[in-house]
């Protein structure tokens, strides 16, 4: 898939302005299957006009783990996706897809439906296409619209190295490839490995032949210092799998994923303003990103009120340093300005990380923690503010420790 680290953004309908104006600041789009199915015409109109205007790849995530657990309150977007996949009958009857529901016929029909959804994705009404082309302020031939660059095969979350789930995933992959072969798009198929633990990523990768893999480690909250051991396992797993000759792209990831470029990760996707990790049991949650301020120096989001209080005392505590950044009180930024700042900062982080080794990252993270703590000590803060910002720094040392464990 990729030779260097790629920066993908997850598409959301509230993100269109940011995506239109910052096309040079990201590599491609990851479109959630729920949005592609439910907001079908609008999503196609936007994504297809963007594909016609910009040479950037995109793919649609089938989000099958959404249907692995009992869901008594299916949202309209879930129903739409289930209908696309041809599983609405089973989901409405049981509330989820039981293991017994995955018969060979069901696996084949789901795989076929998903391949067809992808191969037919350029079929959009001319009015919808023209509407979004006008928003791009471009005259675009509809024939220039591109199909998804890759077709992500349907997949389930693999927990505890469960053999039955692995079998279903293998059959979904085999059937998707077979139907893609019939449609002449076999080369676009990409396999997804979604696992509960990093160690399962390693064991699963050994069982399959595919070189290009999209990976998702469940609920891997990068900024939670309690995850230091899990983050270390993740870094070591990425290194091990990459050294075996496979190329990995993370379906979710924040700045820690960027640092994993030094051990072989080839890219990561994240939402604009959020969704740097995801719990598959709570995959049903949806909506736009909350208004938060990305602090490039800390490589994380802070609540706008906290970032504003820090800026007023010492703006260097929250200022970004990407080209073109203008220092302003975070409280004065509008929602889309906050979103654009986060995308610009992430792209700059990726650029600055290109030549760094794991040891370089470890040293940088520890130095950043020390310098930030020193700068804070010189600023007059209430105990409440000092406590709030201190709790938002510990991840730097956790990341350093995790990366150190994966260093040669």
d(CA 314, CA 378): 9
pLDDT of the chain, 408 residues: tens digit per residue: 788 999 999 999 889 999 999 999 999 999 999 999 999 999 999 999 999 999 889 999 999 999 998 876 788 999 999 999 999 999 999 889 999 999 999 999 999 999 999 999 999 988 989 999 999 888 899 999 999 999 999 999 999 889 999 999 999 999 999 999 999 999 999 999 999 999 999 999 999 999 999 999 999 999 997 899 999 999 999 999 999 999 999 999 999 999 999 999 999 999 998 878 888 876 555 567 789 999 999 999 999 999 999 999 999 999 999 999 999 999 999 999 999 999 999 999 999 999 999 999 999 999 999 999 999 999 999 999 999 999 999 999 999 999 999 998
Residue whose structure tokens are 């509407």: 131
Closest CA to 304 of 330, 335, 336: 330
Q: For residue 301, what are the β-bridge partners?
A: 294
Q: What pTM did the predictor assign?
A: 0.96
User: Strand order of the sheet with strand 151-152?
Assistant: 58-61, 28-32, 6-10, 265-271, 247-250, 212-217, 189-195, 151-152
The 10 Å Cβ neighbour count of residue 211 is 12
d(CA 227, CA 235): 12
Phi and psi dihedrals of 265, rounded to 5? -65, 135
What are the distances in angstroms from CA 9 to CA 34, 216, 335, 377? Answer: 16, 15, 17, 36
Q: Domains in the chain, please, with CATH?
A: 6-282 (3.20.20), 292-406 (no CATH)
Give the pLDDT score at 225.
78
d(CA 193, CA 205): 8
Q: For residue 110, what are the β-bridge partners?
A: none
Buried b or exposed e, range 282-317, using 16+ CB within 10 angstroms = ebbeeeebebbbbbbbbbbbbebebbbbbbeeeeeb
Closest CA to 338 of 286, 276, 255, 273: 273
**Contact criterion met (CB below 8 Å) for 297 and 345:** no
**Contact criterion met (CB below 8 Å) for 232 and 217:** no
DSSP state of 321: -
pLDDT digits (tens, 9 = 90+) for 87-124: 999 999 988 999 999 999 999 999 999 999 999 999 99
């Amino acid at each position: 898939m990729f030779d260097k680290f790629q920066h993908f953004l997850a598409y959301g309908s509230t993100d269109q302005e940011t995506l239109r104006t910052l096309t040079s600041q990201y590599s491609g789009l990851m479109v959630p299957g729920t949005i592609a199915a439910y907001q079908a015409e609008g999503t196609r109109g936007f994504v297809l006009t963007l594909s016609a205007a910009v040479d950037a790849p995109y793919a649609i995530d089938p989000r099958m783990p959404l249907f692995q657990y009992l869901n008594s309150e299916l949202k309209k977007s879930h129903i739409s996706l289930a209908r696309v996949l041809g599983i609405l009958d089973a989901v409405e009857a049981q509330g989820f897809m039981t293991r017994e529901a995955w018969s060979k016929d069901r696996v084949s029909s789901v795989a076929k439906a998903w391949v067809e959804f992808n191969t037919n994705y350029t079929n959009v009404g001319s009015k919808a296409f023209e509407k979004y082309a006008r928003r791009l302020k471009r005259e675009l031939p509809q024939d220039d619209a591109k199909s998804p660059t890759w077709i992500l095969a349907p997949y389930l979350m693999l927990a505890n190295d469960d053999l039955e789930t692995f079998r279903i995933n293998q059959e979904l992959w085999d059937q998707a490839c077979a139907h893609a072969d019939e449609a002449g798009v076999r080369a676009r198929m990409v396999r997804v490995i979604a696992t509960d633990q990093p160690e399962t990523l390693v064991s699963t990768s050994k069982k399959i032949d595919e070189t290009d893999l999209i990976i998702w480690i469940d609920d891997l909250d990068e900024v939670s210092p309690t995850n230091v051991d899990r983050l270390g396992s993740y870094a070591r797993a990425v290194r091990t799998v990459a050294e075996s000759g496979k190329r990995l792209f993370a379906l979710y990831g924040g700045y820690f994923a960027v640092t994993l470029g030094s051990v072989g990760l080839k890219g990561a996707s994240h939402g604009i303003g959020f969704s740097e990790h995801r719990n598959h049991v709570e995959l049903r949650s949806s909506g736009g990103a909350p208004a938060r301020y990305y602090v490039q120096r800390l490589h994380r989001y802070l609540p706008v009120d906290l970032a504003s209080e820090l800026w007023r005392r010492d703006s260097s505590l929250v200022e970004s340093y990407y080209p073109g950044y203008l220092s302003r009180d975070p409280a004065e930024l509008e929602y889309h300005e906050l979103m654009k700042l986060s995308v610009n900062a992430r792209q700059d982080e990726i650029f600055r990380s290109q030549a760094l080794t794991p040891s370089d990252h470890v040293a940088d993270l520890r130095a950043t923690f020390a310098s930030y703590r020193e700068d804070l000590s010189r600023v007059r803060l209430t105990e409440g503010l000092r406590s709030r910002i201190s709790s938002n720094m510990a991840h730097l040392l956790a990341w350093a420790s995790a990366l150190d464990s994966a260093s040669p």
